[in-house]
Amino acid sequence: MTTTNTSGISRRDLLRAFAATAVSAAPAFTPTFGQAAGFLRGAGDVRRIKMYSGRTGEKIDMIYWIEGDYIAESVNQIVHFMRDWRNNKTIAIDTRTIDIMAASHNLLDVTEPYMLLSGYRSPETNAMLRRQSSGVARNSLHMRGQAADLRLASRSVNQIASAAQSCNAGGVGRYAGSNFVHMDCGQVRTWNG
């Protein structure tokens, strides 16, 4: 899957943020929260994502990247999982967003999967949500497959948002009243919803 960078973050910046939290069969160091550690070298470098959907009842727990290569079948399953559950429409999910989610999850040091509240949103769903709430962007990155709204029962909104912010790789919105964090691969920015 190919992605283009129009948001100001480079693939190298994102990989550097992820490398600080990557799982390695022969780890060279123990990362600390927010530490920029550079690239891990050696065998066993993998990326994994764990999520479930309260809307569909589906769960996903998979390795989607091994030693520099995305696994197409795994990414396709993530795309399907992150579909607009209201109408089953899909769009290619930007792998930078998946990487931000996985890196943040690793920084939080939890085994619990994310609860995915919203991944891809079709234009119809986004318009409906805009009519119901002033907090939904007209040109939401959800409609481009570049954003996700996530929750963890064992971590606070502030903890999740802090982990995402430490990646310095996209937008992070804190929605404490609704108990979720928005993560995207757009411009680096933060806000409170």
pLDDT tens per residue across span 24-73? 332 232 333 222 223 223 446 899 999 999 899 999 999 999 988 999 99
pLDDT in tens, 157-190: 999 999 999 999 999 999 999 999 999 999 999 9
Q: Please list, residue by residue across 52-63, b when 16 or more beta carbons sit within 10 angstroms of its beta carbon and e when fewer do.
A: bbeeeeeebebe
pLDDT in tens, 147-162: 999 999 999 999 999 9
Domains (range + CATH), the chain: 11-25+44-192 (3.30.1380)
Reading the block at residue 113, the tokens are: 């999967």
pTM: 0.77
3-class SS at 11?
A: helix
